[in-house]
Amino acid sequence: MSTIDFSALDALDQRDPLADKRQLFVIPEDTVYLDGNSLGLLTHATQQRVAEVTRQQWGQDAISSWNKHQWVHLPRLVGDKLAPIIGAATGQVICCDSISVNLFKALSAALHLQRQRGEQQRTKVISTRDNFPTDLYMVQGLEQLLGAQHCHLQMVEEADLLTAAEDLFDAETAILLVTEVNFRSGRRLPVAELIRKAHAAGVLVIVDLAHSAGAMPVRLDEWQADFAVGCTYKYLNGGPGAPAFVYVAQRHLGQFVQPLAGWFGHAQPFAFEPRYEPAPGIEIMLSGTPSVLAMAAVDSALDAFAGVDLAVVREKSLALAEAFLQQLAASGLATEFECISPAAAERGSQLSFAHPQAYAICQALIDAKVVADFRAPHYLRVGFTPLYTSFRDIGVAVEQLTHIMREQTYLQPQYQKRHAVT
């Protein structure tokens, strides 16, 4: 009946060097979860850690936990734990706030660096039109605040950035804001090459690693990135809306200020001085008091990456995607679903398919306990998270998708109705 060759998939699972990692995670019951690119799953350890921080640290040790349980150092401890995952030496990464807020700091800091270099005319921020919208919005927010003469966004086509970056970087360009993996298409941009070209033109680069960190090798130091931001709630499994991270290259620390100058970013927060004096290190990127519950979850989640080679993660990610495409073809669905993601080498850890009924199909899949997601206007996204996605998962997912398409289940009215979050 089924066209899926489960024995071949099981054989792949048996050879999988990451197979043991799956047991660290709470896998939703009877569910194939292909949405770790939107919200990573909970680990058993994190569930315990959150309970412990709540019950013992907050509940019993209360205020003393700021010292006793190192709450005050969590942003830096988590940052340093995250650093090797994104190819950064210690002291350059800190966990705090959201990507949006961290981008505002990084954008302001990079503009400040340009002015420090005497490059006042560099006021333009280049980013791609189909970047994740919050990245574009934050530049627009800064533009509105400072005036276009001090900061303005130029949206370019991704294709133009890929083929003719040199022509885009002119004497007015201050910053290239680039997301490594496109959230819709899954296209992976050649960040190292873009940084080289940007630097050659005097342009600073902020890299958004939302869909990269934890999914593939990232080499911020080697690439000579200037700033980076990223998300801990996707491939890093930090929890819904978990605090983000921000990276600043060592060579820039001490050379700039950032405007969200909250007390946690002060050189001596507990001296309670009325004048702001920025911390000399990466703590300059901190602003207000961080959420301990949220950050403790991230800290614990990162332990799942202990001993993990990101090159192996990448290899499995591509193998999972390849298996998905093969099973889709074997099920006769390859022509119906237009894969808008590029070939393996130029792709992140997801496949995106265009289909006019993508929304309803996604809802029907979720009801069949295969969790993928939808992105406007008509894309079905399938994410691969090598730490817990199995090859058998892929078979079940395609089997269910095949069933839904044959039976046209997605036409049922309950699948056509839109939710608040799509």
Contact between 49 and 57 (Cβ < 8 Å): no
Please say if 233 is a catalytic residue. Answer: yes
Within residues 181-210, the interface with its own copies by CB under 8 A covers 184
- 25, 169, 381, 384: the catalytic one is 381
Give me the least distance between CB of 130 and its own copies, in Å please: 7
Q: Cα–Cα distance between 229 and 209 in angstroms, integer?
A: 6
Stretch that binds its own copies, among 53-61, 199-207, 215-223, 330-338 (CB under 8 A): 53-61
Which lies closer to its own copies via its Cβ, residue 244 or residue 394?
A: 244
Q: Which of 221, 289, 378, 392 binds its own copies (CB under 8 A)?
A: 289
User: Does residue 79 bind its own copies (CB under 8 A)?
Assistant: no
The runs of H, that is alpha helices, within 89-212 are 99-116, 133-146, 158-168, 191-200
DSSP string covering 283-316 = GGG--SPPPHHHHHHHHHHGGGGTT--HHHHHHH
User: Does residue 178 bind its own copies (CB under 8 A)?
Assistant: no
Q: Which of 7, 14, 275, 413 binds its own copies (CB under 8 A)?
A: 275
The runs of H, that is alpha helices, within 61-130 are 65-68, 74-82, 99-116
User: Does residue 250 bind its own copies (CB under 8 A)?
Assistant: no
Contact between 135 and 103 (Cβ < 8 Å): yes
Q: Is 156 exposed, middle or buried (0-12, 13-18, 19+ CB in 10 A)?
A: middle
Stretch that binds its own copies, among 54-62, 167-175, 338-346, 353-361 (CB under 8 A): 54-62
Which lies closer to its own copies via its Cβ, residue 92 or residue 127?
A: 127
Residues facing residue 152 across a β-bridge: 124
Which lies closer to its own copies via its Cβ, residue 139 or residue 318?
A: 139
Within residues 80-119, the interface with its own copies by CB under 8 A covers 97-101, 104, 108
Which lies closer to its own copies via its Cβ, residue 318 or residue 361?
A: 361
Q: How far is CA 24 from its chain centroid?
A: 21
Which residues have a Cβ under 8 Å from the Cβ of 422 and sit 6 or more positions away?
359, 374, 375, 376
Residues facing residue 32 across a β-bridge: 370
User: Does residue 280 bind its own copies (CB under 8 A)?
Assistant: no
Within residues 13-42, the interface with its own copies by CB under 8 A covers 26, 28-29, 33, 35, 38-39, 41-42
Within residues 125-164, the interface with its own copies by CB under 8 A covers 129-134, 136-138, 140-142, 144-146, 155
* Peptide bond just before 377 cis, omega within 30 deg: yes
The answer to whether the annotation marks 179 as part of a ligand binding site is yes
Contact between 94 and 221 (Cβ < 8 Å): no
Q: Which of 288, 309, 329, 416 binds its own copies (CB under 8 A)?
A: 288
The answer to whether the annotation marks 211 as part of a ligand binding site is yes
Within residues 294-313, the interface with its own copies by CB under 8 A covers 294-295, 297
Q: Cα–Cα distance between 17 and 199 in angstroms, integer?
A: 38
The answer to whether the annotation marks 64 as part of a ligand binding site is no
The conformation of residue 331, written as its DSSP 8-state character, comes to T
Within residues 330-389, the interface with its own copies by CB under 8 A covers 366, 371, 373, 375-376
- 21, 105, 234, 316: the catalytic one is 234
Distances from the Cα of 358 to the Cα of 56, 133, 361, 422, angstroms: 46, 21, 5, 11
The answer to whether the annotation marks 135 as part of a ligand binding site is yes
Give me the least distance between CB of 221 and its own copies, in Å please: 26
Nearest to 224 by CA among 256, 195, 254: 195
Fill in the amino acid letter for 371: V
The answer to whether the annotation marks 183 as part of a ligand binding site is no
- Binding-site size, its own copies (CB under 8 A): 95
What the block records as the tokens of 354 is: 């265009």
Q: How far is CA 420 from its chain centroid?
A: 22
The answer to whether the annotation marks 128 as part of a ligand binding site is no
The answer to whether the annotation marks 208 as part of a ligand binding site is yes
User: Does residue 221 bind its own copies (CB under 8 A)?
Assistant: no
Please say if 132 is a catalytic residue. Answer: yes
Q: Which of 263, 281, 346, 403 binds its own copies (CB under 8 A)?
A: 263
The answer to whether the annotation marks 134 as part of a ligand binding site is yes
Residues marked active site are found at 132, 208, 233-234, 381
- Residue positions forming the annotated binding site for pyridoxal 5'-phosphate: 99-100, 132-135, 179, 208, 211, 233, 263, 289
